[in-house]
């Protein structure tokens, strides 16, 4: 299967050199070795290696084949085969048509403490629910950029999910599945990487396709959060936008090529428009095109609300949820007393005149 060289996740300069040397399709590059490609194109050998890696991972053949030439019917059948990852909030799952979709990017935005990380931890467990319980039975790669992956919390959420499934088990198949769906196996199926800045994150994303090829059971990639590592680039907007565009491209390619659900969290930021301050997702409007689905978690008084505010196939819906000791769940009807209501102080975050992440 072939793909235009111009669509590979390479820098503009490298793509230009390939184009001027006459390389238009990935199939033109398949039989090349780095030294020969370097001679023919004027690229350095390191750049040639990058090009060949991109061809291998993104459409030149093999398991990472880009599905550019699939028909719409084949794509539909492929989508129907992929199950969504349940959130353990039945209302949110229903609004999302079954849960967080595999093969797409879902962004979770919200103010600090609203439950973005809790949802990610819940999904890291839920993606492992055995197929006989309607789950995806996959593994997860969790990229933690904020240090918010708390082992005790994951263990609690895993224990609750394991308990939930064993209570639901009705037939022999389900009873057998609960033998292997244990807290230990859940924890052993979460691959955790800690990235401290955007350079480490970019390096990790660069290595990820190889890791995904070696671990074909991975169905979920979490990046919690994508905004935090880029905070130091707030003054270099064009560089940040360029890097983020590359990240968006890489994530889309990985979601499609490896049939994984990509879930990223994003912080909120204050924007001044028409003399009024608004709380909007960070990283700018351009970044907003990368996720297929954007979920906004927000407070309304003491209630936690999840709104699907961008999706090509769902209505804009709002559901109520809660964070319990067991994890992310549907809200119960009893409201917290007014005194316990958390407050969102938008003025507090106005320290940076341009854009302030909160
Ligand atoms: N064991 C628990 N039982 C009940 N609620 C909990 C528990 N652990 C965490 N929470 C709730 O989850 C909230 C923290 O959510 P989370 O860490 O997901 O926030 P976040 O949106 O990721 O914030 P940030 O942007 O700062 O990372 C806590 O304020 C608390 O309300």
Report ipTM for this prediction: 0.97
Instruction: Report the mean per-residue pLDDT for the chain.
Output: 85
Q: Rounded to a whole number, what is the largest CA-CA distance in the chain?
A: 71
Per-residue pLDDT at 1 exceeds 80: no
Per-residue pLDDT at 16 exceeds 80: yes
Most informative mutation of 266, 302, 323 for ligand 1 (most atoms within 8 A of CB): 323
**Cα separation values, 239 from 204, 243, 245, 352, Å:** 19, 6, 10, 19
Q: For residue 327, report the distance from its CA to the centre of ligand 1, in Å.
A: 10
Which of the four pLDDT bands, split at 50, 70 and 90, describes residue 17? confident
Per-residue pLDDT at 344 exceeds 70: no
Nearest CA to ligand 1 atom 19: 113
Residues 161, 47: one domain? Answer: no
Residues 178, 313: one domain? Answer: yes
Ligand 1 pocket member 147 (CB < 6 A): no
Residues 225, 130: one domain? Answer: yes
Q: For residue 277, report the distance from its CA to the centre of ligand 1, in Å.
A: 26
Per-residue pLDDT at 55 exceeds 90: no
DSSP helix/strand/coil, 267:
coil
- What average pLDDT does the segment 132-161 reach? 96
Residues 146, 194: one domain? Answer: yes
Residues 45, 136: one domain? Answer: no
Ligand 1 pocket member 187 (CB < 6 A): no
Residues 119, 268: one domain? Answer: yes
* Whole-number pLDDT of residue 285: 83
DSSP string, 79-107: HHHSPPBP-S-HHHHHHTTSSBPTTSEEE
Instruction: Please give the Cα distance from 37 to 15 (Å, whole number).
Output: 13
Q: Is residue 118 part of a domain?
A: yes
Residues 95, 47: one domain? Answer: no
Give the dihedral of Cα atoms 47, 50, 51, 56; nearest 10 deg.
Answer: 160
Q: For residue 270, report the distance from its CA to the centre of ligand 1, in Å.
A: 21
Q: Is residue 358 part of a domain?
A: no
Q: Is residue 227 part of a domain?
A: yes
Nearest to 323 by CA among 155, 158, 165, 119: 119
Q: Is residue 343 part of a domain?
A: no
Which of the four pLDDT bands, split at 50, 70 and 90, describes residue 347? very low
Nearest CA to ligand 1 atom 28: 113
* Whole-number pLDDT of residue 334: 54
Q: What is the CATH number of the domain that holds 28?
A: 1.10.150.20
Q: How many domains does the chain have?
A: 2
Q: Is residue 30 part of a domain?
A: yes
Residue numbers of the domain that contains 9: 5-57
Nearest CA to ligand 1 atom 16: 115
Ligand 1 pocket member 112 (CB < 6 A): yes
- What average pLDDT does the segment 101-128 reach? 96
Ligand 1 pocket member 113 (CB < 6 A): yes
Q: Is residue 338 part of a domain?
A: no
Residues 46, 182: one domain? Answer: no
Winning range, highest mean pLDDT, from 58-62, 122-126, 337-341:
122-126
Q: For residue 24, report the distance from its CA to the centre of ligand 1, in Å.
A: 49
Angle at 220 between CA 3 and CA 175, to 5 degrees: 130
Q: How far is CA 76 from its chain centroid?
A: 22
Residues 52, 89: one domain? Answer: no
Per-residue pLDDT at 354 exceeds 50: no
Ligand 1 pocket member 349 (CB < 6 A): no
Say what percent of the chain tops pLDDT 70.
88
Per-residue pLDDT at 340 exceeds 50: no
Q: Is residue 347 part of a domain?
A: no
Which of the four pLDDT bands, split at 50, 70 and 90, describes residue 59? very low
Per-residue pLDDT at 213 exceeds 80: yes
Q: For residue 319, report the distance from its CA to the centre of ligand 1, in Å.
A: 18
Nearest CA to ligand 1 atom 1: 325
Instruction: Please give the Cα distance from 218 to 128 (Å, whole number).
Output: 10
* Whole-number pLDDT of residue 236: 75
Which has more confidence, 350 or 13? 13
Q: What is the CATH number of the domain that holds 300?
A: 3.40.50.300
Q: Is residue 341 part of a domain?
A: no
Q: For residue 265, report the distance from its CA to the centre of ligand 1, in Å.
A: 13
Say what percent of the chain tops pLDDT 90.
54
Is the N-terminal amide bond of 225 cis, ω within 30° of 0? Answer: yes
Residues 33, 115: one domain? Answer: no
Residues 105, 197: one domain? Answer: yes
Residues 160, 39: one domain? Answer: no
């Amino acid at each position: 299967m072939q793909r235009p060289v111009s669509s590979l996740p390479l820098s503009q300069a490298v793509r230009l050199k390939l184009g001027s040397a006459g390389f238009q399709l990935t199939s033109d590059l398949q039989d090349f070795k780095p030294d020969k490609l370097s001679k023919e194109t004027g690229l350095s050998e390191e750049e040639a290696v990058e090009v060949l890696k991109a061809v291998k991972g993104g459409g030149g053949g093999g398991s990472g084949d880009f599905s550019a030439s699939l028909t719409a019917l084949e794509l539909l059948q492929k989508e129907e085969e992929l199950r969504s990852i349940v959130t353990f909030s039945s209302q949110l799952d229903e609004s999302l048509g079954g849960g967080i979709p595999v093969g797409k990017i879902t962004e979770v935005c919200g103010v600090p403490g609203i439950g973005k990380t809790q949802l990610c931890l819940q999904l890291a467990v839920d993606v492992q629910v055995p197929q006989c319980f309607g789950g995806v039975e996959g593994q997860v790669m969790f990229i933690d950029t904020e240090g918010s992956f708390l082992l005790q919390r994951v263990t609690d959420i895993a224990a609750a999910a394991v308990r939930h499934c064993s209570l639901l088990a009705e037939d022999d198949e389900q009873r057998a599945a609960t033998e292997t769906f244990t807290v230990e196996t859940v924890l052993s199926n979460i691959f955790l990487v800690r990235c401290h800045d955007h350079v480490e994150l970019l390096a990790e994303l660069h290595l990820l396709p190889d890791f995904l090829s070696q671990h074909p059971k991975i169905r979920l990639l979490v990046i919690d959060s994508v905004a935090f590592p880029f905070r130091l680039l707030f003054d270099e907007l064009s560089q940040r936008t360029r890097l983020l565009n590359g990240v968006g491209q890489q994530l889309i390619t990985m979601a499609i090529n490896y049939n994984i659900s990509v879930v990223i969290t994003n912080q909120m930021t204050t924007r001044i428009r028409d003399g009024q301050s608004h709380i909007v997702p960070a990283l700018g409007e351009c970044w907003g095109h990368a996720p297929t689905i954007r979920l906004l978690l927000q407070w309304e008084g003491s209630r936690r609300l999840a709104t699907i505010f961008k999706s090509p196939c769902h209505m804009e819906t709002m559901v109520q949820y809660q964070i319990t000791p067991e994890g992310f769940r549907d809200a119960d009807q009893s409201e917290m007393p007014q005194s316990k209501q958390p407050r969102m102080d938008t003025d507090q975050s106005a320290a940076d005149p341009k854009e302030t992440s909160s």
